[in-house]
Structure 1
């Protein structure tokens, strides 16, 4: 598959826009980047509503939506039943005849795509955006049973992704976890990437600031994001004038979070926007005085990279992959997960900075984001599609 001829690429994703989450955003950016490089891109993903499978013609790709089913514990997750997904994916592979299949998860769509591609001898790349523990909030079972589910999920990850020519994940921490728990021999850490220039002020551009100090959260409103801790921390801040919190995103926790803000007397300082378009999101990053990610299950956190790209200081939970994005006291701070008082102190520290100090911290954040160049990541994925091996990019 060497050379520079255009490829036919099939991306298999359990989640894809209009879904709003890190894996969906990455899959869309991947499809867009490969289409812009002249390749023919197809995406296989769950249909976001009930009904038979359909085909959508989008700017970046032909999207094959598989029949899916709602499930009771999370309205944002769709289930593709194996006996329905496998024959449909097999048929799509026979029609499209891709040079490479790139799966984004080992669940449902990803599993069926790996199996059907292997039957046809099609080169497969597997990227993992998801830790089995991320399922915990959606499983109405005791902790001991969830641990069994997680162990089985790790085992399945190794069995399924082990069939791929190359396995990648966004961070070294995630790669080590996959090699340890899924017993995968080799996992290439490869950042999802960010185009930092997209989030910088253009020449002559001016973004109107809020009339109060602005703390920003962006993401799904899910249990593991711990937005409740951020709301509690807001009430403990001592900065003057009092900071407000803008919460961008949707999810099953919105109503409980709104109730919690009301209980704490913070309804007038916590602003829930729901999902916003890319332009409004960019503006929010540029308006914010500080960005906070209190989640404890982040494999990389694209929204943190976006905030850093906008030169916005960050306060992140000291958990999972988030510490890789912070040089403490340089471009932001880490806080003890779940500790609202500790988080409040870190927010106050940044809000107390003078304009020059905040600008220095923002510039350091931009420098950190630029280490995660989207163009470099896409170059490597394209090389993997053409036959490169993980050893070509692993250090040493």
Structure 2
């Protein structure tokens, strides 16, 4: 396509209730989306919570190597959580009105239906601005941080989905990372025609080591929180044959770290388990490259960017058969699925990976590398560009 034939660049406003320096799937997706759109010539603005309520304003920030304007709205820490911050809801719509009057975006892409996303969607719809919504949030996942009793939690979930529906109905297009997540969203709300669009990643940024392993390290990457069910992995490790000499690295941090360290000690495996805390991107990639397998026991993944990163690093995957993980793991090809919460079966599946012949192990690595190609970030960016312009081809 010649330069004259290319559509004009868009001014895109991305609304995020969680963003850098937060480390989670929604934040990572928004970072890569914003940087990819800048690289493709668009004028990108991001709205995100401030790190502290005193440091608010518009800043030029470098995200994934690309400069963009990030509008940091004053936010406050939610203390039951180790890093979560929120913008005061009664202030958000006023800030949204002022920002939209100043920026005048062609399209608003919200990453959740919560405070920032809700405010931008409501005020943007009043102005006739096209809204695209990507859902990364299930109310069920928020329950760990509410401190509510069980009966109140059920009420909270029903309220949460109704609140989501009221915001998502303002969008011209609603997406979520996988078909299973889209089906779940349609069952939980009145939305129909939800589009599965992969979060995507650039596989070339990761390195695979296809040489036979002489020692075995399992790795998990992600937030160290209850819904990740890392305790299931810890309970599986003592069930493995000692001859395998398996070690386990938990790459990430979160509110459950101390509890899990205590559990590892109680299980007698503390000397074989490493909790790294937060690491740089370079160390993360090195950890993945050097591991023998990636293990994830989570039951609440709408896609799992960490699993895709492991696949791009040539790792076999052992994953819970829950939510979106079966979309990434082809049982017996690039890894194995296990019944959620079943540490005995998990141990068997880990052994199935580590006991394979070098040739069979390499075939599983190559299957991961092949499967992750379907999640190339350029496909994701092209799809969202079509949605931003209202092109039917995006479907």
Give me the TM-score of the superposition, normalised by structure 2.
0.94
Matched, 1:381 2:384: yes
TM-superposed deviation, 1:211: 6.9
Instruction: Check the 8 A contact 1:158/1:184 in 2, yes or no.
Output: yes
Counting only pairs closer than 5 Å after superposition, residues 49-64 of structure 1 correspond to structure 2 as 49-59=52-62, 60=66, 61-64=68-71
Matched, 1:235 2:242: no
Change (3 A) 1:4 1:97: same
* Aligned mates of 2:78, 2:201 — CA distance in 1: 32
Change (3 A) 1:145 1:209: farther
* Aligned mates of 2:358, 2:199 — CA distance in 1: 31
* Aligned mates of 1:286, 1:298 — CA distance in 2: 23
Change (3 A) 1:123 1:62: same
Find the counterpart in structure 2 of residue 284 from structure 1: 287
Change (3 A) 1:232 1:111: same
* Aligned mates of 2:270, 2:213 — CA distance in 1: 17
Find the counterpart in structure 1 of residue 356 from structure 2: 353
Find the counterpart in structure 1 of residue 257 from structure 2: 254
C-alpha RMSD of matched pairs (Å)? 1.7
Counting only pairs closer than 5 Å after superposition, residues 25-64 of structure 1 correspond to structure 2 as 25-59=28-62, 60=66, 61-64=68-71
Instruction: Check the 8 A contact 2:220/2:296 in 1, yes or no.
Output: yes
Change (3 A) 1:266 1:239: closer
Aligned partner (choices 222, 226, 229) of residue 226 of structure 1: 229
Counting only pairs closer than 5 Å after superposition, residues 285-304 of structure 1 correspond to structure 2 as 285-304=288-307
Instruction: Check the 8 A contact 1:194/1:370 in 2, yes or no.
Output: no
Find the counterpart in structure 2 of residue 212 from structure 1: 215
Structure 1, residues 211-260: CA drift from partner, whole Å, max 9, x if none?
A: 73100000000100011111111121115232000110011111111111
TM-superposed deviation, 1:143: 2.5
TM-superposed deviation, 1:52: 4.8
TM-superposed deviation, 1:207: 10
Number of equivalenced pairs: 387
Instruction: Check the 8 A contact 1:207/1:283 in 2, yes or no.
Output: no
Counting only pairs closer than 5 Å after superposition, residues 4-19 of structure 1 correspond to structure 2 as 4-19=7-22
Change (3 A) 1:332 1:209: closer
Aligned partner (choices 308, 311, 317) of residue 311 of structure 2: 308
TM-superposed deviation, 1:303: 0.5
Find the counterpart in structure 1 of residue 345 from structure 2: 342
* Aligned mates of 1:80, 1:209 — CA distance in 2: 49
Instruction: Check the 8 A contact 1:239/1:351 in 2, yes or no.
Output: no
Instruction: Check the 8 A contact 2:384/2:394 in 1, yes or no.
Output: no
TM-superposed deviation, 1:81: 1.2
For structure 1, list consecutive stretches of 5 or more residues without a partner in the other structure: none
* Aligned mates of 1:32, 1:285 — CA distance in 2: 23
Change (3 A) 1:368 1:207: closer
Instruction: Check the 8 A contact 1:312/1:362 in 2, yes or no.
Output: yes
Aligned partner (choices 332, 348, 363) of residue 366 of structure 2: 363
* Aligned mates of 1:156, 1:350 — CA distance in 2: 43
For structure 2, list consecutive stretches of 5 or more residues without a partner in the other structure: none
Instruction: Check the 8 A contact 1:6/1:40 in 2, yes or no.
Output: yes
Matched, 1:161 2:168: yes
Give me the TM-score of the superposition, normalised by structure 1.
0.94
Instruction: Check the 8 A contact 1:207/1:286 in 2, yes or no.
Output: no
**SS of corresponding position for 1:240:** helix
* Aligned mates of 1:210, 1:75 — CA distance in 2: 36
Instruction: Check the 8 A contact 1:156/1:182 in 2, yes or no.
Output: no
Structure 1, residues 94-139: CA drift from partner, whole Å, max 9, x if none?
A: 1111111100000111101101111221111000011111112112
Instruction: Check the 8 A contact 1:171/1:189 in 2, yes or no.
Output: yes
TM-superposed deviation, 1:161: 0.8
Matched, 1:93 2:93: no
Counting only pairs closer than 5 Å after superposition, residues 104-123 of structure 1 correspond to structure 2 as 104-123=111-130
TM-superposed deviation, 1:343: 0.7
